[in-house]
Amino acid sequence: MALIADDAAHRAEQLVLMTERLAALAEADTRRIQARTPLVDGADTDEKNRLANAYRLELARIKQDHTLIEAAPPELLDRLRRSTIALHETLAAHELALNAVKVVSEGLVHAMAEEVSRQRGASANYSAQGAMETRSGPSPTVLDRSA
């Protein structure tokens, strides 16, 4: 979805608004992650996805044709630069927060897998015939505080 703009100034204004809104949404997600509350799913997520896609497409169009934005007033272009820098800083903080969640989640999965492996491996016994007993079906796994 490309922006519909009358001129370069109008396009730059729309980009500034889009950049600021994307930064606000990413900052809100980062705050939720840091507060250990679930991320919202729904209208905000849809809006973020639409805005990010439109932003990406518009930047690609401008990269191909610089004249789309060159004629915008210098103060507006400066505001766009500042909001873009702020967006990049916000996205860097958001990435750090998401990576922290990823590391914790992977650690939990790894710990649970080790505990399952430990519980299943510890129950190998010899049968009455002298052979190792094998389980003949699914075995329950009890996760306790050791996981």
pTM of the model: 0.72
pLDDT at 1 over 80: no
pLDDT at 141 over 70: no
Protein fold of 8-121: Methane Monooxygenase Hydroxylase; Chain G, domain 1 (1.20.58)
Q: What is the pLDDT of residue 79?
A: 96
pLDDT tens digits, one per residue of 104-140: 989 888 888 887 777 766 556 667 777 766 666 566 6
Q: What is the pLDDT of residue 39?
A: 74
pLDDT tens digits, one per residue of 44-100: 788 899 999 999 999 999 999 988 899 999 999 999 999 999 999 999 999 999 999
Q: Residue 56's closest CA among 82, 78, 87, 28? A: 87
* Neighbouring-strand partners of residue 126: 132
